[in-house]
Amino acid sequence: MLKKLKPPKEQDDMAAMDRSAPTIRITIIDTETTGISRQDQVIEVGLIQLEVSSITGQILQRLNQYSGLREPSCPMHPAAEQTHGISMKQLRGQRLNEDLIVEMIQQSERLIAHNAGFDRSMLKRTLPHAARGPWLCSVRGIRWRQKGFASARLDYLLEVHGIQRPRSHRAFDDAEALGKLLAHDDPATGRPYLCELLESRPLSGGSQTKAKTPMSESPLLIELKKRLDAASSTPEPPIH
């Protein structure tokens, strides 16, 4: 039985906030891909740019956002399509607004993703600029298990905190849900989870695909493994 936590207090009067405190600009990023191998590519990107207090971790305002699809030049793994529900037909002729994505990334002092090592490495294949700048991983940068949570998986954390998404495993919806999770107060400290994340160390090796967060923690990889295990008795035809 999951114990759901109370949602954070709503800030109805933005004008009442203390705007004199130092702030930073962050961008929450999520991607969906054709699979998880080195040959796979990004097919969807979701970004939400926020102004937050660098002291309290409080989200002050949304500055920008973007959601876009991209037609890949490689095949889609069937298990990946089953996970995010995006078909090659939907992607036909789709292109990302790369200028806007790069602009949002370059404007941000922190880039945040749940399993940032995976998202950074995948996004870098399409946009090399995405690997630049400090990336924070909300899987490793917050001590979820020490706080009593059974897992650091996004699906589980959202359920425990009573956060719902229009669609799971869609880039923008996942990025927005992660923002809500990070704005939630930590019951142990009374501070937003984002505050702890901002105090964590960024991923090392800005130009490398290898990161602290292991691929085994990738939400897409977890879902793919489940589906592949379920289908192990019926081998799939090779992808041409």
Cα-Cα-Cα-Cα dihedral of 195, 61, 117, 212, to 10°? Answer: -10
At 231 the pLDDT is 45
Residue 79, token pair as written in the block: 């298990």
Q: Is residue 7 within 8 Å of residue 161, measured between CB atoms?
A: yes
pLDDT band at 155 (very low <50, low <70, confident <90, very high): very high
Q: Is residue 11 within 8 Å of residue 60, measured between CB atoms?
A: no
Instruction: Tell me the C-alpha distance between 168 and 151, whole Å.
Output: 17
Domains of the chain by start residue, with CATH: 21-230 (3.30.420.10)
The torsion angles phi and psi of 185, rounded to 5 degrees, stand at: -75, 135
Q: How confident is the model over 113-138, as a mean pLDDT? A: 91
The share of the chain scoring above pLDDT 70, in percent, equals 77
Q: How confident is the model over 174-187, as a mean pLDDT? A: 97
Strand order in the sheet with 23-33: 59-69, 42-53, 23-33, 110-113, 135-137
Judge whether residue 24 has pLDDT over 90.
yes
Burial class (CB in 10 A: 0-12, 13-18, 19+), 168: middle
- Better-predicted residue by pLDDT, 49 or 7: 49
Bridge partner list, 61? 51
Task: Look up residue 38 and give its DSSP letter.
Answer: T
- Mean of pLDDT over the chain: 84
